[in-house]
Structure formats: C-alpha cells, structure tokens
Structure 1
C-alpha cells in the first residue's frame, strides 16, 4: 500500500510539473552596438562585449571589458540589441583582484531616451508591470540573469567607488515561442513588406504565457485589444494555444454579469473573437466548451438593448479606444455598431451550437437595432466634429462594418479625409477594413505606408501603443540620443495612461496592417468555418505583384498575383485538397 501511495504521489508530481512547463525558448543575443559611454577613459575593451558569448565565466579572463571607477567618476555604457525583445539580461563577470560583489544600476529602454532617463514621477517612466530601473550586486567570476520586460536598449552604470568591474559578456535573453511563420506576404514595395513583417513580429513578442497587450506595460489579457492580435495570429501562425488559453482566462475570471476588463465593449469583443477564431480554425469542440458562458453573455447583452432598438450598455466604461474617449457621440455610435455585430456573430455561433431559439432572438434584436440606426447616426453626423478628429474615424469605421452607414459614405466623409491623420493604432485595423468595404483599397494601402511606415522611419522594430502623424515634424529617431533642437518622440508625447516613457513601443493591437494586407491585397477571405471554403480576390492597387502564403487547418495556401501589361491580374494558387477556393 505504501509503495502504491509513493507511485501515485510521483505520478501526480510529474503531471503537475508537465502542466507548469514553459513552452517558450530562450535565445542569448550580444549587443549590436554601443550607443554611448560615460567616462569612456575609464572603460577598456568595450568592443569585446559585441562578440558572441557562451554564458560561461572562466579562468582565462581574456576578452574582458574593464570599467574602473574613482570616488568621483563612475563609468556607464548604453547597449543596443538591434531590435525590440521580450526577456532580460545575462551578465558574465571576470575576476578582478577584489572578490567583493560590485553594485551596478541597470536601466531597460524601448528607446535610447527611455534607457537614459530617471523615474522622476513626471516623465512617465515607471517600474509598473516589469522592473526597468533597478540596482543589483554582481558576483566575482559568475553569471547573473536579471529582468523580464520589453526592451531594445540597456544602460549599465557602475555605482561603487574605486572598484574595477570586469565584464566578459552582456547578453540579452530573448524569450519567445519558437513557432514558424506559416503565413507570409511579399510584393514589389519593400515598405509594405517591412510593415507586414513588423506587425507579425509585434504580435509574436506578445505571445508569451498569454497573449499580452504589451511586453513592457500592460502585460495583461485585455480582451478587446486582443482582436487585432488574434487576426494576426490567424494570418501568420495559424492555430496556437495562446489564443484559447487567453480567451479562457478572461472568461474564467469574469463571472457573469460582470464585464470583461471592466468594460462592456470588451465582453462584446470576446464574442467577436470567438466567431473569428471558429471561422479560421474550425475547432467545434472548443466552441462547445464556450456554450454556457457564450449564451449567458448574449442574453446579458440582449437585456441591454431597449425596445427602441438603442443599446443601453452600463456598468463598466463605455469605451472604444483611448483617442475616442473624449468624443461621447462617437462612442454612442460605435457601441451601437459593436452591439449589432455581436448579435450577428452570436446568432451565427448559436446556430452552430444548436441554440436555435437564442439565435432567433439575436437576429430579432439585430433587426431592431438596425431600424434604430438613425437615432445614433444622426447625432454623430451632426456633431460638427472634424472628420479626422479622434473618434470620428473610429465610429465611422464601426458603423460601416456593421452596415449602419454606407461604406462609401463613411470613406468619403471620414476615413479618406486627410490620409492617416485621425487614425489610431488599435482601431486603424477597422478603419482599413471599412475603406476596403468602400472599395478604396488604394487609399488604405497609402495610409498603411504613411501611418505605420512613419514608425519604421523613426527606428521602430515593433509597432506602438499609440501614434499620431502630428508628432512627426522635428522628431528624433528612437534609436539615437535626441539631438539638440529635435523632439523626443517617446518621452515627449502620449496621453491618457501612456504619457511619456510609459508609452509602450510594442503593442499587439497595432498589428492591423499584417492581417489586412493578407486579407485584401493578397486577397484571402475565409468563407466557411475551418477554412473549408476560402475566397481569394486580390486588390493590388499600384502594386505590380504580390505573393504569399496563408495557413489553414489543412495546410498552407500558396498564392501569387501578377499584374500584366493590360492591367489584368493573373493568379497562381496552390491549396490543400480539403480547401475549396472560390473567386
């Protein structure tokens, strides 16, 4: 009996260990350059730190960087690791004459200026969510690993007086899911190629334990913000367990009648994500697991629609995105449109689940809300707010996508006005989709080049939580010390919860162009759940050719479109036999 108990204990321990095993990998990367040095005359051999290392201290003590302090002079180095990373820092030390631990200060930064700043309570720099500015003691002839945040730059300051710090290696620890990019996009415009890839990489970095909003700040599951990320996962990676894991987490910590993340609109986004995840992945077993919560949530949403067909959402913030938060008329219009989309998506999922009565109720509420459209659209149209003012393009895009406003009208009056001005990183995806619904594919391509491309021009390797084209004049790049007369675009801008250096420069909700380019330029649109039927209708605009791949549960679709001298587009498509291609 005792032996049986021991075996059962060991089995349960192994099972528990398996449940806690991390599916991510770690990669160690040397700096690509040294951006800046303080008291450089007290630093010898800094270039040794740019060489590949092995993470092992040794007695040879070769290729060592030496930092020597005095009672008044304390050297420091700022490293650039070449691209935004999620993870920490590994420091390998040598063997100076003193065996005493040595104190250093470490600062992580998504920009050069963030890594160079102090947390002063005014510039937005914080240690919220992840430690970014801290002091540690390094061992003699040892290895220290610290940090867990989003960063590209690291500054190390020697704090102790009259000591010698020997550094054999300073390497970034990049933690990520080692998964293939099954989806791809290439065309004759390298700017668009870079934008597609950057959006994919931004989401990839946020696929950590869960699907996060950002890797520096908001390392949380914000379910509304998840929708553009989930669409990028569908487009680039196909199925990945981080999506259902995150959707289940937010479901389980939000018992009804509570609102997810404290916002009514975010519970609506959960319904919309469930619909899109089912359409792209076709996982009926997973959808059935959502039955109780989904049907309960739909009934809750239905109860928030008045007899007049106007939504009466309360409890939790009435929220679309931050730039629109001071435009209540736009929020009212946007929430009416989101609720209508939820009724459509909910009705579709209920029919799949055999919940026919609830599906019919969703359809009836949807019809009632459509008839009431003028009650929210007229105040929006008459609000007198500039077409490209914050909130205008958000609301117009949702109204167009919900069928409450003709897409051509939304595009002409709002979306196409003044290009990328008035766009937001989160709702930019829906603005682009609404422009496509209006047939303005070229205008959307131009906005992608202008708005998202401007972040790349400023040195971005991932897309940001917020961006505004009005910031551009006189702005400095994020990968350089801010020159005299230039503006610090990271520390000097931002609003609401992302002022100054609190602003996240790797935010998954900004990845919209990646899925949009695959959906509308490459032309891939899922027609039936599980990609059983896929429509491919390319819109090349001013491009000469585009090619790429798209993941389905049955394998990858390979596509190439080329514009001939006569202007006609000729296509080559290779799809798995289980996938029906229609045009």
Structure 2
C-alpha cells in the first residue's frame, strides 16, 4: 500500500478516536464517574521543625528539602535530602508547611538511590505534637482520614499519598541499613479555587486576622460537600453547617457546595427520621434554608424543598405537648459542652422549635403554602406559652434570646456577659455573640472574640478548632512547636467527649462564627429581603476607629467604609449594585 495512503488512514483513525474522547468523558452511560471542582496546588515546606540526628550522618542535606521543586524526577545528581539508617538507629525529619491545609504529600526521589528502595513512615499532624505521636498515644487515631501509615518508595520516581487535614508532616525511614535520597517533598493542597469576595479590615489587626481565619477554616471544608472538619468528621453534619453557611454568605457568596450538601442530607433522611439522627439538626436544615434564601434569593431552589419542608414542619408540630413544651425525640443535642445539662438542652430545643416555625412561616408565605403557614402560626402560639429557664447555660441563654422567648437584656445581663469567655464553645459561641448584639452589647461581643478566638491564634492556630476552653491556655505550649519541658500540650492533653487529645480537630467549620458576625454587626450589613434586594447598613464600631469591607450579593459586590470622626460620630460611605435598595442607619 502507498505510504501516503497509510499515513492518511492512520491520521483519519487518530482524528476519529480523538473526536470521540470528549463525548466519552461527558456521557455517563459510557463511563460512570463523578466530577469535582477541587484543584491542587503544590506547596514547599517552610521550615524544618525537628530532625532525629544533629550529626549529619543520618539526616544529610536537610535544608535542601526547603527548596521549591518542579515535581519531576531527573537524571541529574544533586545535593538532596538523604535519610540513612544504621542498624536499629532510624532517621526522621519533621516539616512545617506554614499553615493548615487539606490534601496529601508528594515525594520525588532522585537518581542517587539504589533500586531496592526502603520504606518510610509518614505521620500528618495538625500540630507538631500530633505529627510526633503514635496511634493510641493521647487518643491519636486514623479515624476518617489516614494520617499515620507506611509506604514503599519508588526508585527515581514520584508518589503522592495522604488525604487529610494537616500542617506538619514527619517522615521516618523504617528499614535497617538503608538510605533514601529525596529530591523534593511538597504538600498537595486540595481546595476549591474561588475568590474571597467578602472582606473585613479594621483598625484592629487582631480582629482582621480572626475574620480571615474563620473564612479560611470554612474554605478548607468546602470540598465536594461542605464538611465539618478536614481531618476528622469529614461528613455533612447539617446543624454544624449553619455557621459555615453564614460564613459562605459573607465571604464567598453563592457556592453550589451549600445546596448540594443540603440536598444530600435531605435525600438521606426520609421522614420521619431526623437528620444525622439528631432532632435539632433537622431544625437547623430549616434555618439554613431560610438564611440561604434571604442571602441568595433562589426561589426556584426553595420550591424544590417545599414538599419536604412542609412535611418536616408538620412532623415538628406533633412534638409539642398541651402545655406548649417541646417533646422532641431522637438524639437531643445542642453542642458538646452543653450535652450534660438536660435542662439547658430542653431550653435550647424549645427555642429552636420557635425559630423553626418562625422561619417556616416566612418561607411558606413566599411559597404560597397557606395550610403550612397556618400550621406554623398555631404551633408558635402553643410554644410561646412555655418559657424554660436558662439553666445556667450560655447556650440556652443565647437561643432563648434569639427566639424571642427571653429578652436579650435578660439573657445578656444574667448569663452571657458573666465570667468572661468561660463556658463558651466554638459552635454556639456564634449564637452567644448574636444574642449579645441583640442587646446592643457590641463591645462585650468584640472583647469575647478577641479573647476566645484570638486565644487560638496566640497558640499558633491558622484555623479554628472543634472546641476551645480558655482554661487550656494556662502554661500551654503552642501547636507549632515541640512542647517545652514543663508546658502542657494544648493538643494532646486537652479536649473532651468524642474529641479528646489528638482526635480533636483543629480545623472545624462550625468555629467560624466571628467572620459572619463581624460582617453583619460591625461592618453593619443586614439582609432584609430575599436575594439581598434590600440591605440595611448599620455600623457598630465599638472601640474601633474605622472599618471597611465588602459583601457579596447576587448582583455584585457591596463596598462599605465607616470612619469614626473626632466628635465621635461615624461617617459612612458605600457603593452598591443598582439592583439593591440600601437603607443607611446611624
């Protein structure tokens, strides 16, 4: 056959195959797959925290591992990190990537290795001490995400391992009389590549850092679904999502991870089951739907929830006794620190029931559902007949104020303003701040934010934690250092309930409350109509000299600036999309 004809036929065949590839990857009938918008970025380590060997005989050329790499094995010999074991003496190195991330590790080996490569043990840690721990030590685990395991290394190649939340990585050569030369080590950072549309900058750098840390904490948990934690609890916990969703509303605007997660938990929970087996979490689903509708204004999406929403509200209405008391079954839960106080749980659930029917009433009016609207009204009348006491609980006090069952002044003066930040929690701290704002105690709330969330920053946090007790700070070392002799290990020695010791998550989205709180109450942006059609701007600067920031709306960015003048008055300027009606209130 003529060579020219053969070339043409082969070219046509190649074109035909290539032309089919896009359809092949798009057609689920041909290839069952799931898509993701998660991207990866490779980060070089920022510092070496520790090595097992100071002599240079077993850990050689350590500083070379800090050089940025290109991800490519090469045939060029160089001065690279080399780990050498002698008998029963094994080398190790601990790296710091600068801040908490979600992802894994990429390791590239060099040509300077024998083909019979050894094995290494890899330990990820949210703290230095966790990366230095063994499974079982201070409750260190591989729960949800593997963070402590052994791998075989490739000769002159690359390997990527790990899928967890971490900042620190320890690598140990575990085979005797072996050496491994490593050209580069990078963190494989997996995240949604989305812009930070909202912002908050004030005269207090501590508050600025807290706002951004809360935003970043939630960003890391925005994976294919909205998780609670990136190391542990990589699940859709719908109640925990509420502070996260409010942070997303304030920082990122619309993102499909929210409705995708709301729909997942709805579809996983046929009634009469409770979401995540917790009755209050089904209520939080209603509250999130309400806030999401007001911030994003998607009536089409809300209508898709109508059948389930109405049925859930009907089910909740059967959980009220003749005296107006809630009698919710399932797991009765607010947050972990309040879980031993049954009277507080009842007060909180009573309040959440009121909030569910308040929000349900509002949503059903937009949906034109007269029957369920009337059901919500009658349920509210019953529930308001019973007002529980605050049971010495700041969680209960906050919810009672937010529901209107107790005045914000009573809630704040009798409990929330007492004893500083003791008895706060990272989850319900958000609602404590909101309740203090309802009483006009913005300064008290700002002081709480600085001390409580700022306390985590003082201990080296780059994301906010599953829980935090201010008493843990006494004589505690930082999470980004080897614990000094005589100091407490803030990660390994503390925690409670299901999060004792190293099982404690140091990146938990429910702890992001100050981010949306500062945007709403200090920057002063309050959404009054669905889709941000009407927004009230009412700044509350407390002791701040100035604050400025941005806020994402479905129509574009709202920019706001407040400056305290010499006479104490606050001068405000703003720029808003033309579709938004702005009400400025001094």
TM-score by length of structure 1 reads 0.95
Q: How many residues align?
A: 562
The answer for the alignment partner of 2:467 in structure 1 is 466
Q: Residue 327 of structure 2 is aligned with which of 299, 309, 312?
A: 312
SS of residue in 2 equivalent to 1:301: helix
Superposed counterparts of 1:398-409, under 5 Å = 398-409=399-410
CA distance in 1, matches of 2:71, 2:316: 54
Contact 2:247 2:513 in 1 (8 A): yes
- 1:447-502 C-alpha deviation (Å, 9 max, x unpaired): 00000000000000000000000111100000000000100010000111100000
Superposed counterparts of 1:301-340, under 5 Å = 301-314=316-329, 316-340=330-354
The answer for the alignment partner of 2:37 in structure 1 is 23
CA distance in 2, matches of 1:549, 1:182: 7
SS of residue in 2 equivalent to 1:123: helix
Measure how far apart 1:13 and its partner are: 5.1
Q: Residue 125 of structure 2 is aligned with which of 82, 93, 109?
A: 109
The answer for the alignment partner of 2:263 in structure 1 is 248
Q: Residue 82 of structure 2 is aligned with which of 66, 76, 91?
A: 66
CA distance in 1, matches of 2:474, 2:327: 42
Measure how far apart 1:97 and its partner are: 4.8
The answer for the alignment partner of 2:59 in structure 1 is 43
- 1:127-157 C-alpha deviation (Å, 9 max, x unpaired): 0100000000001100000000000000000
Measure how far apart 1:14 and its partner are: 1.8
> Which sections of structure 1, spanning at least 5 residues, go unmatched?
1-6, 386-391
CA distance in 1, matches of 2:201, 2:279: 38
CA distance in 1, matches of 2:473, 2:574: 41
CA distance in 1, matches of 2:22, 2:493: 56
Superposed counterparts of 1:469-508, under 5 Å = 469-508=470-509
The answer for the alignment partner of 2:457 in structure 1 is 456
Contact 1:235 1:550 in 2 (8 A): yes
Measure how far apart 1:307 and its partner are: 2.2
Contact 1:393 1:414 in 2 (8 A): yes
Q: Residue 278 of structure 1 is aligned with which of 293, 302, 324?
A: 293
CA distance in 2, matches of 1:509, 1:271: 17
Measure how far apart 1:8 and its partner are: 11
> Which sections of structure 2, spanning at least 5 residues, go unmatched?
1-18
Matched, 1:359 2:373: yes
The answer for the alignment partner of 2:26 in structure 1 is 14
Matched, 1:434 2:435: yes
The answer for the alignment partner of 2:95 in structure 1 is 79
CA distance in 2, matches of 1:342, 1:367: 13
Measure how far apart 1:64 and its partner are: 1.2
RMSD value over aligned CA atoms? 1.4
TM-score by length of structure 2 reads 0.94
Superposed counterparts of 1:366-385, under 5 Å = 366-373=380-387, 376-377=388-389, 380=390, 383=391, 385=392
Contact 1:400 1:407 in 2 (8 A): yes
**Deviating more after overlay: 54-63 vs 572-581:** 54-63
The answer for the alignment partner of 2:565 in structure 1 is 564
The answer for the alignment partner of 1:93 in structure 2 is 109
CA distance in 2, matches of 1:63, 1:479: 28
- 1:223-244 C-alpha deviation (Å, 9 max, x unpaired): 0000000000000000000000
Contact 2:117 2:180 in 1 (8 A): no
- 1:240-293 C-alpha deviation (Å, 9 max, x unpaired): 000000000000110000000000000000000000000000001100111111
Contact 2:146 2:164 in 1 (8 A): yes
